[in-house]
Chains A and B, each alone.
Chain A
Amino acid sequence: MTKLMEWLTGAVLILGPWSAVVTNTIQNEFTKQYYMEILLFPVFLVAVFGLVSIAVIAYRVYTFNDCQEAAEELQQQIKEAKADLAKKGLKLD
Chain B
Amino acid sequence: MAGDKYSVLLPTYNEKDNLPIIVWLLCKYFHDSSFDYEIIVIDDGSPDGTLEVAKKLQEIYGENRIVLRPRAKKLGLGTAYIHGIKHATGNYIFIMDADLSHHPKFIPEFIKKQKEGNYDLVSGTRYIGSGGVYGWDLKRKVISRTANYITQILLRPRASDLTGSFRLYRKEVLQKLVEACVSKGYVFQMEIIVRARQFNYTIGEVPISFVDRLYGESKLGGSEIIGFVKGLLHLFVST
Whether the pair B56, A67 counts as a contact (CB closer than 8 A) is no
Closest Cβ of chain B: how far from A78's Cβ, in Å? Answer: 5
Q: How far is the CA of A92 from the CA of B142 in the complex (A)?
A: 37
Q: A71–B21 contact, CB under 8 A?
A: no
Is A36 located at the chain interface by the 8 A CB criterion? no
Given contacts A90-B20, A90-B56, contact A67 B146 (CB under 8 A): no
Tell me the number of A-to-B contacts counted with CB atoms below 8 Å.
86
A71 touches B239 (CB 8 A): no
**Stretch of B7-15, B87-95, B130-138, B173-181 lying at the A interface:** B130-138
Question: Interface stretch among B67-75, B114-122, B148-156, B164-172?
Answer: B148-156
The DSSP consensus for interface residues of chain A is helix
B134 touches A68 (CB 8 A): yes
Q: How many residues of B contact A (CB 8 A)?
A: 39
Contact with B along A55-78 (1 / 0, CB 8 A): 011001100111110110010011
Which stretch, A10-18, A20-28, A39-47, A81-89, touches the partner chain B? A81-89
Chain A interface size, as a band, is 20 to 34
**In the complex, which of the residues B21, B59, B133, B154 contacts A66, with contact meaning CB atoms closer than 8 Å?**
B133
A residues near B21, Cβ cutoff 8 Å: 77-78, 81-82
The answer to whether B134 touches A70, judged by C-beta atoms less than 8 angstroms apart, is yes
Known A-B contacts A65-B130, A70-B209, A81-B24; the reply to A88 vs B239 at CB < 8 A is no
Determine if B134 and A67 form an interchain contact, defined as CB atoms under 8 angstroms apart: yes
Interface of B (DSSP majority class): helix
Q: Which of A61, A65, A67 contacts B142 (CB 8 A)?
A: A61
Residues on B with beta carbons closer than 8 Å to the beta carbon of A70: 103, 132, 134, 209, 211
Contacts of B142 in A (CB 8 A): 57, 61
Which residues of chain B are within 8 angstroms of A67 by Cβ–Cβ distance? 132-134, 209-211
Residues of A within 8 A of B210 (CB): 67
The distance from the CB of B143 to the nearest CB of chain A, in whole angstroms, is 10
Contacts of A77 in B (CB 8 A): 21, 25
Known: A64-B144, A66-B132. 13 other contacts (CB 8 A): A2-B238, A3-B155, A4-B236, A64-B141, A65-B209, A67-B209, A70-B134, A71-B135, A74-B103, A74-B214, A81-B25, A82-B21, A90-B57
Taking Cβ atoms with an 8 Å cutoff, the residues of B that contact A are 17, 20-21, 24-25, 53, 56-57, 59-60, 100, 103, 127, 130-136, 138, 141-142, 144-146, 149, 154-156, 209-211, 214, 235-239
